[in-house]
Structure 1
Amino acid sequence: MGYEAYLTLTVVVGVLVALVSSRLATDVILMAAMATLVITGVLTPAEGLAGFSNPGVMTIATLYIVAAGLKETGAIQWIAGRLLGQPKNVRHGIMKVIAPTAMMSAFMNNTAVVAMFIPSIQEWSRRSSIPTSKLLIPLSYAAILGGTCTLIGTSTNLVIDGLLQSALDTRLTMFSLAWLGIPLLLIGGTFLFFFADRLLPDRDGGIDRLGNVREYSVDVHIDENGPLCGKTIEEAGLRSLSYGYLVEIHRHERLLPAVSPDTQLLAGDELVFVGAPECARELRSIHGLKPANGDVDKLKLANHERVLVEAVIGPEFFGLDQTIKESRFRTRFQAAILSVSRNGNRIEGKIGDIRLQVGDTLLLETSQDFVGQYRSRRDFLLVSAINDSTPPSFHKAPIALYILLAMVIASASGLLSILQSAFIAAGLMLATHCISITKARRNIDLTVITVIAASFSLGAAMTKTGVAATIASWLLINDSIPPWVVLAMVYLLTAVFTEIITNNAAAILMFPIAVSLAEQLQVSYMPFVIAVMFAASASFVIPLGYQTNLMVMGPGGYKTSDFVAIGLPMSIVVATTSIFLIPMIWAF
């Protein structure tokens, strides 16, 4: 190997180490790697930037608008409400979660499906007396398996299809993957049906009961110039809140616990309420109350620009193990923290002295742009607005579904390519006002697009410098190894990578290696490419490995051990099925 190959190998190893151990954002790491390869001359600028013009990447960007149109019109809730029904028991409930989730994940971004289903399933589980911990991991796994059934079901499929088109002049059709995806869904779904109830804990999630992850302590002051001074608690309407209750009053140096309804309110009283996040919204609507947290007044935002938001701290959050005051959270994010909850319990005490940890759920007051800006960044695992002032346009849900159906038919029939049909569908979503142009812009996740596009430079450099071929020769100990054994090696190596780094990065790194292995074995590359595609999506064991797993972790009240308990056998089932079926569908 020449120096370019050694440099490429160093960059790839550096990226893997940084992704696993660094708190730097994923897009920063991969953009730095791409820049290094271009600056050192390993790749030309055109080769380094080729990922940004790849058809698969552009299709992903366009489908964000289609998915946003389905979300804004309430199409997902509309379907979910008709398919969930009323379960007879836990197994019946799991089956009712898997079916609609997998069906919708096959045709739209699975993170959007999971994000929209979480509140519906939580409310549904409360009515059905089924713990959400029995349902939310199956929700995530069903979304993963459903996404493997079509080409547009997950970004990984589109990324690999884009690599096939650019590197090998081969393209997949909409339902090319269904021959393997559907059997995997049926077998994986059957496994969940019979074993999820046994392997998952009987535990309430944070949103299911008042005292858990989404229980907050909201402090407010009685405005000395407001209309509540001199009124009793009952007269002020503070005994009839829908989402919270008054715990205590701090009056000067005195603490008044278990206050009665006829307690008179005085100017400067600090009232402590406990309740769901919507409690903060209710308190905001009562004239005469103002937030006790001084940071709220320091936000440089007009009242009409403010919104209440919940955010769960992610593994790449910059201020881990720092106090909120030390992290300068308000200055960095233009957001004031109203309350923090951890492991099912609200954290009491002075907000500025709380040390932030992964999984902490924050109740914020911030701008309306915060959700779109940070929803898909690794600083936060889950970001959602509480008082969204724009309700879903349910009357347009059928229009959005018809647009999605037309896109699928146009692509599946060969009338248009997936990129062309996605362009038209996105245009129709905008033309029919299923989504506004402003919200369409906000819903295109530029961080994900940047990560994927920059990752292409690593794959290109590995191919150009011969690193991929060298790694392939290392894996082939001798020429007598059967192709199906090498296929298993490719699948397992990709599956390990996708558990510790992003699924798309794992797919892009393994693609050139898989193709080189096929060339050295003198067999078809398709079985190996398909193995990379499916293994990169099969992340079940570690919650950090896949976005949907992270999204359900807090709401389901899960621990990492819960994912290992069910995810390890699930991975074995999916891997065994894939390795067995792939050569039967795509011959060597």
Structure 2
Amino acid sequence: MVWEAWFVIAVVAAMLIALAKEVAPPDLLVLLALLVIVAVGEVQSAQAPVPAPGVEAPPLRLPTATQAIAEFGNVGLITVGALFVVVAGLMQTGATTILTEPLLGRPKTLLSAQLRLLLPVSVASAFLNNTPIVAMFMPVVTDICKRANLSPSKLFLPMAYSATLGGVCTIIGTSTNIVVNDRLPAAMKFGLFDITWVGLPCAAAGVAYLMIFSRKLLPDRRPAISLSDDPRQYTVGMIVQEGGPLVGRTVEEAGLRHLPGLFLVEIERAGEVIPAVGPQAKLHQNDHLVFVGIVESVVDLRKTRGLLPATDQMFKLDAPTTQRRLIEAVVSGRCPLVGKTIREGRFRSTYNAAVLAVARDGQRIAGKIGDIVLETGDTLLLEAHTDFVAQQRNSNDFYLVSHVENSAPPRHDRARIALITLLAMVAIAAFGDGKYMLPAALGAAVIMVLAKCCTSAEARESIDLSVLITIAASLGIGRALETSGAADAIAQSLIGLAGESPWVQLGIVYFLTLVLTELITNNTAAVLMLPLTLSTVQQLGVSYKPFVIAVMMAASCGFATPFGYQTNLMVYGPGGYKFADYLRIGIPLDIIMMIVCIAIAPFVFPFH
């Protein structure tokens, strides 16, 4: 190998060690590794001799800054960024709940949650691109973890892995299969379900492994402070919407029983108070539900379809719904409304804000919101224009004013538009074997904003830059491994050592493709290995089918690092994972996939 190849290998090895030791955040380490390679590439480019007229300049083996930046415009990267916006639209309208609740229900245990989540995700990914599947289910996993008090780290990675496993069951399930199949000669192309005979047993073995071992191998990472430790206990009233989706359902079925840090105290119905509400109590239209709990769960309650705030003051606010947020404000001793009820003080008219709940020393405040007499130190949960904080920050009326995170009022009236947009995106993406994934995702993102499923500000906030930077920098490093000759040299050397045994050669092909997938990108690994594999097949005089399927499987099933597939990176932050978590659960899964594939492929598609 040339020195450039050794240099890139050394940088990648140092990066992996730093990731394993958690020296710095992953996006910073991967970007730093790329910058080191690019810096040397720029020096090499500057010192390259100018070729004589008519003589072609020798290719540079290390990427320059221009070439590295080009990876930040990668189709897959832009697709992931657009999908973040699509998910924001689904979340802000409550469409994710409509779409997944009938399928997933409301699991109470980790095993139940995994059963309800992993199987549907893997089945859907067999026919749809797994990246939007993971993007769509991420907020669903967050909701399940909050309601069932489960650790996100126990569900996010198994969900992403299940999407990958489902994707290998058909030719259109993952972009890797499509890329490999497109590069085969016309007479050698695979049909839609040809790979299923190998992919389905591999997926079944993988999902079974996740169901059995992920609960032990993945960490239980929860917030350091329990939700129940929050001293601000709000009393909030909600009305069951007339003709809404909660009418006739029990408290348990409505999902109002196990909200973290929130307790349903009583139901007021036609002047009658029903205390100690049981899980099987049925909800009637116009029921007044009284909850006591923390602000995070009140926000979730506010976003529940079929529930409306008990106060009608919010409907009289002089601000569009899209420009409102929930705000916490602590009443000062100088506030002119101290000693008056909220109604007497005309709070809405004075501040253009509606009081949704009041917290006072962790005590429950009985009565309607408008009848509460304000006291110094009361913490008010308000719905107001986004400018309220800026207007009142220096006011003597409040000690403290702050926005509540992720508190935009729900846009349930836009849920149908969001769902139609999602289904249209999936249909367009599936058409043409996934070639239209990027325009479909970009179009859906634009529609979500234009149709006011989410605001432009919410769309920008939803894009996780750390994930995008990590993916882009990983693509740049993969390009360096390819152009420096490191990947090709290693592959040819190891294949040359395998001898004439087709079984050994098949194992080497799978192993090499897997290693390249873990270090660079899945599609790059497949593109690099396919010509080497076809050359090996020709020399051995055996069938190409088991070898090509091994390349497809190994290039898709990289589970031991965050870089094995872009969906692995998408759940890195939300799941609170560390590099070692991927190694712990991913290496055994890699081995299982390799054994099952190598054992089955030659029997389904014999060597001779």
Match of 2:416 among 384, 390, 398: 398
**TM-score, reference length from structure 1:** 0.56
RMSD between superposed Cα atoms in Å: 5.7
Match of 2:452 among 430, 433, 448: 433
Deviation for aligned residue 1:101: 4.6
Give yes or no for the alignment of 1:141 onto 2:158. Answer: yes
**TM-score, reference length from structure 2:** 0.55
Distance (Å, rounded) in 2 between the aligned partners of 1:76 and 1:478: 51
Distance (Å, rounded) in 2 between the aligned partners of 1:94 and 1:496: 28
Match of 1:533 among 551, 555, 559: 555
2:267 equivalent in structure 1: none
Q: Report which of the two structures shows the higher radius of gyration computed on alpha carbons.
A: 2
> Any conservation in 1 of the 2:474–2:520 contact (CA below 8 Å)?
yes
Deviation for aligned residue 1:116: 1.4
1:61 equivalent in structure 2: 81
1:294-334, Cα deviation, whole Å (9 max, x unpaired): xxxxxxx987379xxxxxxxxxxxxxxxxxxxxxxxxxxxx
> Any conservation in 1 of the 2:488–2:528 contact (CA below 8 Å)?
yes
* Structure 2 residue runs without a partner (length 5+): 46-59, 231-259, 262-293, 295-328, 341-357, 366-374, 392-399, 539-543
Distance (Å, rounded) in 1 between the aligned partners of 2:573 and 2:523: 22
Q: 1:551 to 1:389 in 2, by over 3 A?
A: closer
Distance (Å, rounded) in 2 between the aligned partners of 1:240 and 1:20: 47
Q: 1:172 to 1:559 in 2, by over 3 A?
A: same
Match of 2:99 among 79, 85, 97: 79
1:130-149, Cα deviation, whole Å (9 max, x unpaired): xx36x962553133212443
Give yes or no for the alignment of 1:116 onto 2:135. Answer: no
2:595 equivalent in structure 1: 576
1:270-299, Cα deviation, whole Å (9 max, x unpaired): xxxxxxxxxxxx94649xxxxxxxxxxxxx
> Any conservation in 2 of the 1:5–1:462 contact (CA below 8 Å)?
yes
Distance (Å, rounded) in 1 between the aligned partners of 2:376 and 2:402: 31
1:372-426, Cα deviation, whole Å (9 max, x unpaired): xxxxxxxxxxxxxx54231332332332222222233233332963333333333
Q: 1:461 to 1:552 in 2, by over 3 A?
A: closer
Deviation for aligned residue 1:236: 8.1
1:43-67, Cα deviation, whole Å (9 max, x unpaired): 4656444424443333333333333
Distance (Å, rounded) in 2 between the aligned partners of 1:495 and 1:478: 18
Q: Which amino acid letter does the alignment assign opposite residue 142 of structure 1?
A: M
2:489 equivalent in structure 1: 470
Percent of aligned pairs with the same amino acid: 25
> Any conservation in 2 of the 1:403–1:425 contact (CA below 8 Å)?
yes
Give yes or no for the alignment of 1:37 onto 2:37. Answer: no
Pairing of 1:472-551 with structure 2 (within 5 A): 472-476=491-495, 478-480=497-499, 482=501, 484-489=503-508, 491=510, 505=520, 507=522, 510-511=525-526, 514-515=529-530, 517-518=532-533, 521-522=536-537, 526-527=548-549, 529-537=551-559, 548=571, 551=574
Give yes or no for the alignment of 1:304 onto 2:389. Answer: yes
> Any conservation in 2 of the 1:222–1:266 contact (CA below 8 Å)?
yes
Name which of structure 1's ranges 25-34 and 522-531 shifts more when overlaid on structure 2: 522-531
Q: What is the DSSP-based 3-state SS (H/G/I as helix, E as strand, rest coil) of the residue aligned with 2:162?
A: helix
Q: What is the DSSP-based 3-state SS (H/G/I as helix, E as strand, rest coil) of the residue aligned with 1:188?
A: helix
Distance (Å, rounded) in 1 between the aligned partners of 2:415 and 2:204: 29
> Any conservation in 2 of the 1:122–1:208 contact (CA below 8 Å)?
no
Deviation for aligned residue 1:27: 2.8
Q: Which amino acid letter does the alignment assign opposite residue 427 of structure 2?
A: I
> Any conservation in 2 of the 1:8–1:467 contact (CA below 8 Å)?
yes
Pairing of 1:18-417 with structure 2 (within 5 A): 18-21=18-21, 22-23=23-24, 24-41=28-45, 42=60, 43=62, 45=64, 47-85=67-105, 91-102=111-122, 107-109=130-132, 112-113=135-136, 115-125=138-148, 132=150, 137-138=154-155, 140-150=157-167, 183-192=201-210, 199=216, 206=223, 210=228, 225=334, 237-240=360-363, 283=379, 285=381, 304=389, 387-414=405-432, 417=436
Q: 1:399 to 1:81 in 2, by over 3 A?
A: same
1:15-46, Cα deviation, whole Å (9 max, x unpaired): 44444444244334324433433442334656
Name which of structure 1's ranges 505-514 and 442-451 shifts more when overlaid on structure 2: 505-514
> Any conservation in 2 of the 1:51–1:454 contact (CA below 8 Å)?
yes
> Any conservation in 2 of the 1:110–1:144 contact (CA below 8 Å)?
no
1:408-457, Cα deviation, whole Å (9 max, x unpaired): 32333329633333333333333333233333333334443343334334
Name which of structure 1's ranges 391-400 and 510-519 shifts more when overlaid on structure 2: 510-519
Aligned length: 442
> Any conservation in 2 of the 1:483–1:521 contact (CA below 8 Å)?
no
Q: 1:25 to 1:160 in 2, by over 3 A?
A: farther
Distance (Å, rounded) in 2 between the aligned partners of 1:147 and 1:428: 28
Q: 1:420 to 1:163 in 2, by over 3 A?
A: farther
> Any conservation in 1 of the 2:83–2:441 contact (CA below 8 Å)?
yes
Deviation for aligned residue 1:480: 1.4
> Any conservation in 2 of the 1:83–1:96 contact (CA below 8 Å)?
yes
Q: What is the DSSP-based 3-state SS (H/G/I as helix, E as strand, rest coil) of the residue aligned with 1:433?
A: coil
Q: What is the DSSP-based 3-state SS (H/G/I as helix, E as strand, rest coil) of the residue aligned with 2:474?
A: helix
Distance (Å, rounded) in 2 between the aligned partners of 1:402 and 1:81: 17
Distance (Å, rounded) in 1 between the aligned partners of 2:590 and 2:9: 29
> Any conservation in 1 of the 2:467–2:570 contact (CA below 8 Å)?
no
Deviation for aligned residue 1:100: 4.4
Deviation for aligned residue 1:577: 3.1
Distance (Å, rounded) in 1 between the aligned partners of 2:181 and 2:555: 11
Q: Which amino acid letter does the alignment assign opposite residue 536 of structure 1?
A: G
Distance (Å, rounded) in 2 between the aligned partners of 1:443 and 1:517: 41
